[in-house]
A and B are shown apart, each in its own frame.
Chain A
Amino acid sequence: MNNFQYSRASNVADAIQLLAADPDAKLIAGGTNLIDLMKENVERPSRLVDISRLPLRDIEQTADGGLRIGALVPNSDLAYHPQIEQRYPLLASAILAGASAQLRNMASVGGNLMQRTRCAYFYDTATPCNKRSPGTGCSAIDGLNRNHAILGTSSSCIATNPSDMSVALAALDARVHIASRSGERAVALIDFHRLPGDRPHIDTNLGSGEIITAIELPPRGFAQNYSYLKIRDRLSYAFALVAVAAALDLEGNVIGEARLTLGGVAHKPWRSLEAEAALRGQAATPDHFGRAADLLLQGAAARAHNGFKIELARRAVVRTLMQAARATPQSQAHKKIA
């Protein structure tokens, strides 16, 4: 860990000011990922701007009937908020599939969006990694890549995004509210994270001097037919090999609207509008779900050790959609797969 300066922001404008004044400054809220990365010498911020006391902890109704979630709402508070439990249970379930109770208590919603990959090479400063040290090469492409991406990879990076929450947010059409000196803007969550391309050191489209202030959920929450299924190497407290967020609007057994997003397979939550479109108007059957899975997984490419993820993802998509269709969502407390 390097020596760093510490400032406590007194308001959002102050945080933006502190951030803009120092290109190597980082915001810190819960610190559940940043502190780890600092201990490993992967992140070496010159300054930590502590935003944990800013008034961004409200969850409030929006004019159109959606919800606006302050960026500093702890993950636990969000997962157990009555509005989330009742109207957006897919989001609650995804959050509870991640990390541990202790980490969820500390981690903020904005910080969750900013968490970095768990690629072992990214974490180990003794090995080359384009994401950590641009231009040094990717050790994972020809190395240990069992946990790595099968979709949207580049010749520079095959890392995955580790967030569960983001997968559900992507499926729910959430938007990220961002503030900076030049004002406020909002971006769809699915466009918030980037693919690695030839600049894998940049995870998101958040600009320098920008700060996440809130996440907005549209009114439609898919509270009847949804499921979040996470497959991992032990039954809790592990990152996803494959995760699926699925949500359906059903009339009888016919699908109206469908949402389908994968986690653990790409540099960002992986959603295919084509796959969702293919489900619309179809009966909720394993065959149709399998076709959607194929569309979602189009272009999936395996490296030496992660080929199993393609078939696993396909099966997991079908199962999760079945869980959603039958209104038997995966429980995150009971590990038996529904």
Chain B
Amino acid sequence: MNAYVGTPTSRVDGRAKVTGAAQYAGEFQAAGLLHGFVVTATIARGRIVRLDASEALRVKGVVDVLTHANRPPLADDDDAWKDEVAPEKGSPFRPLYDDVIRFNGQPVALVVAENWETAKFAATLVRIDYEQDGFATDLDAKRGHAIELDKPHKPRGDAETALNGAAVRHEADYVIPTEHHNPMELYATTTVWEGGNRLTVYDKTQGVQNVHKYLCSVFGKKPEDIRVVSPYVGGAFGSGLRPQHQVVLATLAALALERSVRVVLTRHQMYGLGYRPMTIEHVALGASADGKLDAVVHEAIAVTSRHEDFARNDTGWAEQLYRSPNSLLSHKLVHLDVSTPCDMRAPGAASGVCALECAMDELAVALKLDPIELRLKSYSERDQGEDLPYTSKQLRECYARGAESFGWNRRNPAPGSMRDGKELVGWGMATGVWEALQMPVAVRIVLTANGHAEVSCAASDIGTGTYTIVAQVAADALGLPIETIDVKLADSTFPQAPVEGGSWMAASSAHAVLAAAEDIRQELARLAKAMPGSPVGSVDIPDLVLVDGMIANGNDKSRAVSIADVMRHSRLERVEKQKLNQFAEDKSHARNTHSAVFAEVKIDEELGVIRVTRIVSAVAAGRILNTKTGRSQIMGGVVWGIGMALHEETVMDHRFGRIMNADIAEYHIPVNADVHDIEIIFVDEPDHRINRLGVKGLGEIGIVGVPAAIANAVYHATGKRIRRFPITVDKLLD
């Protein structure tokens, strides 16, 4: 049955969220709950020589001040601290582990008090003396110290020679600043002391089982001692993939004090955790005189911490998008005295594709080619890195549909040639690309005789709509109305799921639901056939379908028996099936999502004020499970792309190694006034190979390409190439 999949179904958790019924990690209550406030380091590198908490401890209501000196035991080997998403190489940061300061903003103490205000006040009374060491936080200054990672991409041909011999070449550095996720919900944990050394941890996370495993290994606990729950997440965007500091601190305090403890970080403190690393993206493109790419060189130089090698795929995307006989791709890291970066929406691609697509625009100008035409001349039907065909790739259609809707053919290519009164008008475009990943996920379905089904899975819904698509797929697969489906997510005791990230959860959870529902179908079919005088007694099990609360002959739906009757007759209150879905390994095809993004900017010629008046994003991402939540996903990505182009930048004073705009008053993201018309087109992309439903996932693709399309539009309007993001008034006036 297909009543819900592919439709604009409203969020099943929408009512709970807008009425406040949905509880978030920092909202769970417990008897005698204590509140922790974090004290953070004010130097970038060195050692704590003295930490005096005596004054803080004298404040009425303060219960304890936990530090490296008085904390309960913590695991002392790196492996114990390596969560599911930790970089392979390095030594994960351990909160309150020792006296060493590794980055400014590092947690150094936790003040625990009877209420939050008291803890916050007492935290100002903790006196810390440091011994400061020399430090470095400036990527521009330390660029020469970059260390090359093992090449993730095999060089093809001889890019250097091809570049030197190219008829037309373009080469430039593009700089993406450090950016922070700034989810609306603050990072928060409520660790409930259940007695008998057992804990329930309500945590803001993208992966309850990742946090569960991490806490068990860090604190030396048995799996049954700790349960991690995260029913609702107010945005995370990658910041909740790895366990955040506060989950360690709240749990540490709960164990030390044998009380329930809540720790909520302030917005300011959240800047001491993960971020999109600043990167210097060097791109060199060579083409023949008729505009065919002959060489692609892309080198990324990225920030990481001294203690971990965080790196993502910034430079591999040209292999997906453009046919070129020669390519050389590399990724370098500069180790600085900062916290470890982490995944942030479309990690690697958001930055790398931005650089690549700006460079392609510059090459198109050099070749006097339309930017779409340049891209079509080197359109790649194969993933060149692996030399594989795609399961599906409707990028051509994205260009065509996007261009048509945008009115691209009315574009005068000369910079500064289009205007609207005092404003210069710029039209730019760019390509987006992301992976279509899928992971093993297990789901349990409990069907009860009253016609309700509970579907449970450890996966998180980070606001993306997982609750809703799981309900849609289950309703269709079980032949039940969506109102009868109760989805339970994000409890570490539920069937296995990886962290929610990488855009893999939609496809992965949907197929796990299908797999468990198939077991339910088979069980019900067997029972139905076994009923005396069964109307489906002679129908083969594979021919029986679940539809409208019935078990029916798929070829003749009039031959059917109700699920309720079958269960009653079988004396069953419930049918329960749990199934782990593993996708068959298929290395014969590459799997990607694509987009074509078109942007219109209007720029006041004298004053440099930019308005992004129109965005058209045409997306090919297989079958869209829910066109309503899917559209919201892409729109969120587009808005974020506007921010990446024009606003977002974490600013650090390198004399202090300290972030100086650690709040959302000064760290700018777009406000409503910055967002105008956004049109989203889902291009038909049937994909019978990737998975049964033909689903690819939408979490990341929405942002990729947007900043480049806007930057290219700014060039088209003004003739100015701003290669250091964000594009601000001062850079345009320069």
Contact = CB atoms under 8 A, between A and B. Distances in A.
Contact of B653 (A2, A127, A318, A336): A127
A337 B656 contact: no
Interface string B232-272: 00000000000000000000000000000000000010000
B607 interface: yes
Nearest to B604: A337
Given A2-B121, A120-B660, A234 B646 contact: yes
Interface string B692-703: 000000000000
A127 B658 contact: yes
A124 interface: yes
B673 A121 contact: no
A118 B656 contact: no
Given A126-B42, A143-B655, A237 B671 contact: yes
Contact of B121 (A1, A318, A336): A1
B120 interface: yes
Given A143-B655, A308-B730, A337-B423, 14 more contacts: A1-B121, A127-B660, A233-B668, A233-B728, A233-B729, A234-B647, A234-B670, A235-B671, A236-B672, A237-B673, A312-B730, A318-B606, A335-B611, A337-B609
A221 to B, nearest CB: 27
Interface string A1-28: 1110000000000000000000000000
Given A143-B655, A308-B734, A337-B422, A1 B660 contact: no
B459 to A, nearest CB: 35
Nearest to B656: A127
B124 interface: yes
Given A234-B673, A308-B733, A118 B604 contact: no
A231 interface: yes
23 contacts: A1-B120, A1-B121, A1-B124, A40-B268, A120-B666, A124-B658, A126-B658, A127-B660, A139-B656, A143-B653, A144-B660, A231-B607, A231-B609, A234-B674, A235-B673, A236-B673, A237-B673, A238-B668, A241-B729, A316-B607, A319-B607, A337-B422, A337-B609
Contacts of B729: 231, 233, 241, 308, 312
B56 to A, nearest CB: 13
A106 to B, nearest CB: 15
B117 interface: yes
Interface string A102-118: 00000000000000001
A155 to B, nearest CB: 18
Interface in A237-255: 237-238, 241
B190 to A, nearest CB: 22
Contacts of B647: 233-234
Interface in B302-339: none
Interface string B630-649: 00000000000000001100
Contacts of A337: 422-423, 604, 607, 609
A58 interface: no
Interface string B117-135: 1001100100000000000
A41 interface: yes
A125 to B, nearest CB: 8
Contacts of B422: 337
Interface of B: 42, 117, 120-121, 124, 268, 422-423, 602, 604, 606-609, 611, 646-647, 651, 653, 655-656, 658, 660-661, 665-666, 668, 670-674, 728-730, 733-734
A120 B728 contact: no
A225 B438 CA distance: 63
Interface of A: 1-3, 40-41, 118, 120-121, 124, 126-127, 139, 142-144, 146, 231, 233-238, 241, 305, 308, 311-312, 315-316, 318-319, 335-337
Contacts of A40: 268
Contacts of A231: 607, 609, 729
- Complex A-B, nearest 6 residue pairs according to Cβ-Cβ distance, in ascending order: A236-B673, A126-B42, A308-B730, A235-B673, A120-B660, A237-B671
A315 B606 contact: yes
A24 to B, nearest CB: 16
Contact of A312 (B656, B672, B733): B733
A2 B124 contact: yes
B609, B647, B672: most-surrounded residue (chain A CB, <10 A): B609
Contacts of B671: 234-237
B733 A311 contact: yes
A336 B602 contact: yes
A312 B666 CA distance: 20
Contact of B660 (A3, A124, A308): A124
A118 B666 contact: yes
B295 to A, nearest CB: 37
A141 B84 CA distance: 45
Nearest to A237: B671
A165 to B, nearest CB: 18
A335 B672 CA distance: 11
Contacts of A127: 653, 656, 658, 660
Contact of A120 (B661, B670, B730): B661
B409 to A, nearest CB: 26
A127 B653 CA distance: 10
